Structure 1
């Protein structure tokens, strides 16, 4: 829904309710979009963020495949004398 800033002044409460309900509310000035009303998403608390980070780390560790060290992964490009071969 598009509403001019002038009209929005008188309908702010209703526009906020509609934005909270998921409707897209665009404020316009002289026919051009200038702002959008959107619901605020709750910010997770510190413990929730920490738990999420630990879950991501555990998931990544479980997916990691064993293999050669990255420090030695390009050795095949060089000869025994250490020069490109």
Structure 2
């Protein structure tokens, strides 16, 4: 794993942790159909490259646009919304 991947994983995890707010990790994990341990690993950056389906499920549960998560993971792309 590259340093860039590790850094992106930490940014993603911190953002998801903030988006979770006061909700219990087990509640969010269950709603996203992942284990609480997987959520913990993502939030702490220990799982720096989670599967897309996992990220998409968390985004849906936390009401976070996938575009926001892409921008967090790949800020150098400077993604712009179209529409």
Report the TM-score range of the alignment, normalised by the length of the smaller protein.
Answer: under 0.3
| Structure number with bigger Rg | 1
Q: Which has the higher helix share?
A: 2
- TM-score when normalising by structure 1: 0.23
- TM-score when normalising by structure 2: 0.23
Q: Which has the higher strand share?
A: 1
Pick 1 or 2: higher relative contact order, CA cutoff 8 A, min separation 6. Answer: 2
